[in-house]
Amino acid sequence: MKTRITELFGIQHPILQGGMHYVGFAEMAAAVSNAGGLGIITGLTQKSPADLANEIARCKDMTDKPFGVNLTFLPVVNQPDYPGMVKAIIEGGVKVVETAGNNPQSVLPYLKDAGIKVIHKCTSVRHSLKAQAIGCDAVSVDGFECGGHPGEDDVPNFILLPRAADELEIPFVASGGMADGRSLVAALSLGADGMNMGTRFIATKEAPVHDNVKQALVAASELDTRLVMRPLRNTERVLTNKAVERLLEKERTLGSAIKFEDIAPEVAGVYPRILQDGEMDAGAWSCGMVAGLIHDIPSCQELIDRIMAEAEAIIRQRLAGMLD
């Protein structure tokens, strides 16, 4: 399949793997890229620019296909060394950067000068237009269904994607709730040039996470996510568990007086305990409603091949058949 996204990134299939904290290691990115999609290393999971440079080098040892690095701009006091990370990305010869969180304007000139394509992930049409205006090459439009941070507008993809298509000139991928060939065809129909998946890629053989995490995704339904940190205007969609229920109880009790410190035990530093050690009740971790569509743990190659075959069958048989 050829779309503006496959052309822009030089990839075989219009399928991206979004940056994921403590999931987007070299193994994950290389597996997706080797399967014809675009794998993405999560920059901030690496503790320093030197570690990121090492992770990029490891990924290059595992694939000769294009892959990207995610740079998430966080609303935190102690800012990570973004200039150092950008340097590691440029010197590592990375071809694509996925930015997310705040406006990526401060790093954009350096990335563009190095010939790197930038796709900014955003949850609204206005932020997508801003990304286009500042010179991003593409956007990843992340609907309310998504795992991670859906923003505060709560617009699901059935509305958000056609709205983005009406306004944008640069290509975009649909993100949030994407799992299979049906998702891809729907995304293309709504105006996207591909799709970005997060949660679905965690339940794959190569995802470098504890097996408990993969089994939890297979067991979960579309009813099992919760929105946390809404009172802090830092909403995150997570898989429910004991820690999440405790966190939500604090939000109910403390109301608008709640501060980050109140919920730090449930959210700060919990990712390695959950994703690497498999302590499934250790805290809140991002997960999309798409968990309800995840029933197995294929390899990335099997998953992407299946998506492409299903998408083609839907277009050539189901949809074309309706016109006969």
Ligand X SMILES: Cc1cc2nc3c(=O)[nH]c(=O)nc-3n(C[C@H](O)[C@H](O)[C@H](O)COP(=O)(O)O)c2cc1C
Residue nearest to ligand X (CB): 198
Residue 18 in contact with ligand X, rule: CB under 6 A: yes
Judged by CB under 6 A, the residue of 27, 145, 206, 266 near ligand X is 145
Beta bridge partners of 139: 120, 172
Q: Which is nearer to ligand X, 6 or 46 (CB)?
A: 46
Q: Which residue stretch of 58-66, 143-151, 293-301, 315-323 sits at the interface with ligand X (rule: CB under 6 A)?
A: 143-151
Judged by CB under 6 A, the residue of 6, 33, 72, 204 near ligand X is 72
Least distance from C-beta 156 to ligand X, angstroms? Answer: 11
Least distance from C-beta 301 to ligand X, angstroms? Answer: 19
Q: Which residue stretch of 2-10, 61-69, 102-110, 169-177 sits at the interface with ligand X (rule: CB under 6 A)?
A: 169-177
Q: How far is CA 277 from CA 102, 139, 264, 297, in A?
A: 30, 33, 19, 19
Q: Which is nearer to ligand X, 142 or 193 (CB)?
A: 142
Q: Give the dihedral sign, CA 50/108/26/61.
A: negative
Least distance from C-beta 176 to ligand X, angstroms? Answer: 4
Binding mask 284-303 for ligand X (x = CB under 6 A): -xxxx-x-------------
Residue 29 in contact with ligand X, rule: CB under 6 A: no
Q: How far is CA 108 from CA 19, 65, 227, 251, 264, in A?
A: 18, 23, 31, 37, 32
Q: Give the dihedral sign, CA 180/137/97/30.
A: positive
Which one, of 73, 67, 21, 66, lies nearest residue 42 by Cα?
A: 21
Judged by CB under 6 A, the residue of 6, 70, 183, 204 near ligand X is 70
Q: How far is CA 321 from CA 166, 184, 186, 222, 313, in A?
A: 28, 19, 17, 31, 10
What is the number of other CB atoms lying within 10 angstroms of the CB of residue 181? 17
Residue 49 in contact with ligand X, rule: CB under 6 A: no
Calculated CA dihedral for residues 252, 253, 258, 264, nearest 10 degrees: -90
d(CA 52, CA 94): 11
- Interface residues with ligand X (CB under 6 A) are 18-21, 23, 42, 70, 72, 100, 121, 142, 145-148, 175-178, 196-200, 285-288, 290
